[in-house]
A and B are shown apart, each in its own frame.
Chain A
């Protein structure tokens, strides 16, 4: 049975009038890879800094291995913190960059020697020990920063946007390496990002944050298919949010009269006839070719494996994603039919309005 490695309890932190964290709680199990996902300003970096000990929370607790670490300085918390952009020292060699932290902590010369060698070997860059950061590729610099975070022997790694400095293609490879390394070493990782694909690709569990609060915690598939809030639906799967009124319910299915578009059938429970609702339809769940809804292609953009198509249906513009090979002949102005999935999540219409429910800042 895995034990709890990290517990964050009711963390609050304000900077003047800005409330960066408004009561954040979650747990991370030993050996688990957890990704904190949220837009800029959601509090994700502040959260990581509170765990690392760089920022002191106003309230709440950070517990590592069952012990509150709030009174401990960063270097005694047993964490390896990797800031965004790596912050490697440009005038120091790879070796010195990795050794620096150990030297500051007063490790003996031979201890430093053996640890630096070990972690550089681990990230496959011992042969570049004498190079300077600018002589290395982005991927290599990332691995050096990782080596530095590992050198202290920390069992808990805190990675703040570890991949943003990399080309998109490289990032895909490196994220896989980072996860693999952490799993091989049995490390616990908290990885912060704004990129939902990156989060889903590497996380055992995802913590979705918004405006200093946790919106949802769950496995990638859970978050993606069963979003608990409109924000999660939009942020994680880029769902079309269709507002309307539930006009009819029978046998667990309902008909939603979508404003400006018309009726669609959805599976729904716990709603009364006449309720105002929002249906969250993922772009790839809409099927083109047949169905009850008539639309006209407004624009098309090919993204690689998928093609994004904007379809006007009544006054609504739907975002639809279709595998590129199935969309080769679709062009602007085409008239087509489309069908909606029955299993799209249905939400109560938010009191604050749709804009309020999605606001990030």
Chain B
């Protein structure tokens, strides 16, 4: 990845926003650098959209400061913040052609060389052939592209997107998100993109902000969150399904712990010395092997294309999910193993495991 600039495009300091009965933002501090593509993810109600609205100026924080390029913008109205906004509902003028829509902001502002800019944006997004079409003649993907084109033509340096691909087919969204990332990178824009879809965030973000209940749970590069989740919640929310197995720590040495699962003793990475704990191991890291530490019976098999997904009932009655390209029959006895570096042990959470990973 190219080195990012150290210029702070966005800075939030101690931002709080309360609604009657709900704390939407509970003390958020965050920096986004110029040219960075940041995704904010979290379940519904985690405060991610409110965060975006505070940056845009749609919502004023109760406390805390919002800076754009070093300038404090609390109280500055949305139209003076110079941000481009994209929502799930595609906001195009229905009575104007695509070209008209895209040309609207520069023409209204009297931007010099508006014509040229519009042509350039349309061609970069491969929309030239659609320039004379009306919005409702385009697919949803193309409409959203046109909305993005319009935001770009407005000359903004900061693009704020809230679930921009929420209304389209998965396949269309997958292609479009890649195209849009390439374009904003070419143009050097800064992006904050809110989504509930962790795969989407993993795919396009330089860094991901994981939110939960109005707070930032972890910030990091996609791979960092996938490989080194700091909390059980992040382990659950990032990278697809995960296995959480209650266990007891037997001993610890140099960051490697030995734990008793009640149906086998295994090693994993962790720092807990003793006591109740949770072993986290990803379904794709579990392998069928001859002499694995965990034995069980295959209860469910789903074909998912690149691999099969299995639910294996262990000898202690617990279920684990295994994702593996090899085909095993339902009812078959299997033994499972994993590399200790592919599993993490967390201290058992005070609020209970179910609560710690709850995402609603």
Contact = CB atoms under 8 A, between A and B. Distances in A.
Nearest to A308: B203
Which of A137, A139, A328, A331 is the most central at the interface, judged by chain B CB atoms within 10 Å of its CB?
Answer: A137
B223 A201 contact: no
Given A39-B171, A195-B170, A305 B240 contact: yes
A314 interface: no
Nearest to A234: B171
A167 B226 contact: no
B253 interface: no
Interface stretch (B61-69, B72-80, B299-307): B299-307
Given A169-B359, A302-B203, A328-B223, A194 B170 contact: yes
A303 B199 CA distance: 5
B267 to A, nearest CB: 18
B254 to A, nearest CB: 22
Contacts of A324: 223, 226, 239, 284
B241 interface: yes
Nearest to B204: A301
Contacts of B222: 301-302
Contacts of A284: 305-306
Contacts of B44: 138, 167
B300 to A, nearest CB: 8
A32 to B, nearest CB: 16
B53 to A, nearest CB: 20
A88 to B, nearest CB: 17
A301 B203 contact: yes
Q: B interface, by DSSP: helix, strand, loop or mixed?
A: mixed
B312 interface: no
Interface in B309-333: 309, 323
Contact of A305 (B196, B203, B302, B323): B323
Contact of A168 (B196, B226, B303): B196
Contacts of B323: 305
A172 interface: yes
Contacts of B359: 167, 169-170
For chain B, the bracket of interface size reads: 35 or more
Given A224-B303, A224-B305, A304 B202 contact: yes
A168 to B, nearest CB: 5
B1 interface: yes
B357 to A, nearest CB: 10
Contacts of A170: 359-360
A113 interface: no
A332 B1 contact: yes
B226 A235 contact: no
Interface in A33-71: 39-40
Interface string B151-180: 000000000000000001111000000100
Contacts of A361: 139
Given A39-B169, A194-B170, A238-B171, A301 B178 contact: yes
B135 interface: no
A328 B168 CA distance: 30
A315 B98 CA distance: 31
Given A169-B359, A172-B241, A197 B305 contact: yes
Contacts of B139: 361
Contacts of B202: 301-304
Interface in B217-246: 222-223, 226, 236-241
Contact of B285 (A176, A299, A325): A325
Given A167-B43, A169-B237, A332-B1, A304 B226 contact: yes
A255 to B, nearest CB: 27
B227 to A, nearest CB: 8
Contacts of B305: 196-197, 200, 224, 236-237, 284
B84 interface: no
B252 interface: no
A138 B199 contact: no
A257 interface: no
A63 B303 CA distance: 30
B78 to A, nearest CB: 29
A176 B310 CA distance: 12
18 contacts: A40-B168, A137-B360, A138-B360, A168-B196, A168-B197, A168-B198, A169-B236, A196-B170, A201-B309, A236-B305, A238-B171, A301-B203, A301-B204, A303-B199, A304-B199, A305-B323, A324-B239, A325-B284
Given A167-B44, A169-B236, A304-B202, 4 more contacts: A138-B360, A194-B169, A201-B309, A305-B240
